[in-house]
Homo-oligomer: A and B are copies of this chain.
């Protein structure tokens, strides 16, 4: 049987899985507010740092090449990203944000950050810092791709 929600003690596995569920819901809600899908939102966030080739993007987002083509197609059709020819490799393309894409990405990113941050509102500052440190170490040690980063 499962423990009750009111049970104060929650294992680390459950805490991770359920917090992930929470983050996913926030992502879905935030992206919907901007007329994009969570995947498109994630693509925009990755591209905020710099343009990437399809291969690099596939590695970061953990998507097969064929999956990525469609995602870029659809996001491109919205006018948010653009395929640019790679200057040195004529086979390759570089996916970059359009002006509008950058604008949407900025707003989506800011909004998402605000919503995610609100999840930890109940924790006092020192606890939030501790949580960020511990969770950050988990992320770093598992080499999670930089699908999201702190603003400068």
B18 x A144 contact (CB < 8 A) = yes
Q: How many identical subunits does the complex contain? A: 2
Chain A interface SS verdict (over half): helix
Interface size class of A (residues with CB under 8 A): 35 or more
Interface residue A33 (Cβ < 8 Å from any Cβ of B): no
A152 to B48, alpha carbons, bound, how many Å? 44
A11 x B150 contact (CB < 8 A) = yes
Task: Encode A105-128 as 1/0 by CB contact (under 8 A) with B.
Answer: 000000011001101111100011
A3 x B120 contact (CB < 8 A) = no
Task: Please tell me which stretch of A22-30, A65-73, A76-84, A87-95 contacts chain B, meaning at least 4 of its Cβ atoms lie within 8 angstroms of it.
Answer: A22-30
- Of all chain B residues, the one with the shortest Cβ separation from A6 is B140
Q: Which residues of B contact A113 (CB under 8 A)?
A: 13
Interface residue A103 (Cβ < 8 Å from any Cβ of B): no
Q: Which residues of B contact A2 (CB under 8 A)?
A: 48-49, 146, 149-152
